[in-house]
Structure 1
Amino acid sequence: MRLVPRAMPVLSASALAADALNTTCSSFPAYNATTLTTAPFTLLASSPTASINGTAASFVSFTNDGVDRYGFVTIPQSNPTFGTAPPLSLRCSGSTLYAQLPGGARVTLSIAADENWQRGLSFGLGDGVGVQAYAQGGDVYLGAEGDRGAAGLKWTFKSNWGGNAGQYYLVRWAGAEEGEAKRQAGGEPPVVDDRDWDGYLKVVV
């Protein structure tokens, strides 16, 4: 039996002026118009009925032969082996949203375009769907635009066990409209079970 996601309140957001990341970073908080750069900020899971509501985003990263790094934005669930998961530190500079990894490496965030990665918010996986800032009720949320320009702010927090990385939720874009998250082959979106949540990603300094 396929279970339905938990209900959440509707969030109707309007795009901030000129906020596409290929144009400007001015939509994000703590923006400096002189340097065209923001101060560091992070993301919080916003899902009022979920146990992870208000939890700061983290990440898991992988290395191929010690060189090529890629990874995913996550919401920590538990990490019994290594304790606290590393926090996600973001900065928008010039026209690009970056995540800062330990050791100083900067990686560009996007929504994975490859169907194998199921629209995970990720880095190092090639060109993906660019993310965008949206305003709602005085706050800023991370989202993206769909194929027909509809704002897609909803994310699925998919429960996952990552071995040494512990237990966490993968952050997957749910799309801008009904059916957008379905696989290109015409199949169904990834199954959501009672360990998963729907929600939003709130931008906080």
Structure 2
Amino acid sequence: MTDSPIKAPDQPEPTRFECRPARLTDAPAYHRYVVECADAGMPLYQVAQFDPDGWLQSLLDHAAGHHLPSGYLPTTTYFALDGEEILATLRLRHGDNEATRQWLGHIGYETRPSRRGKGAASALLCWIQQALSAPVLISCGEENLASHKVIAAAGGEWLGRRYHPGDRRWLEMYRIDPLPRPTAADLLATATSDQLQV
């Protein structure tokens, strides 16, 4: 896990949501997403709500490896969208450091509060798994049962509990593996199967 765990930026298998890297043109949708997440008390968005446009620009800068805070790895942010609405966000950290190995993991994600339980986080995580070239680490709070289910559905292998010194809480650490990309025959078989069930 020393190199970036993500392959080429080509589009993995489509999902029912549009999954893709964040763009500057997402600013209006991102602003609405940030406001809802901040109103729900999500810590990351407590800061982002004061300048959502600047925060989005910093996410794009971090993906390019620019203006990284000390100790941060280049991190690409991805969105699952339904039309113009951001449903979930996933951050993929490229490389390894003590934070990724001990408590942070390579992947962090969250779902828009009003869209929880609709499968957006699962779809986004599965989409990313198809682009991975190596296993990655992912963590979630012990109390976050929804995330445990999402990670388990992604084939997460439990590695144990880890203490996050900054947040002063225990996290569960998992490893997830890359998923094979479906072949044209797989997609055709799925489409044919879906047509037969109609």
TM-score, reference length from structure 1: 0.29
Which has more helix, going by share of residues?
Answer: 2
With normalisation by structure 2, the TM-score equals 0.29
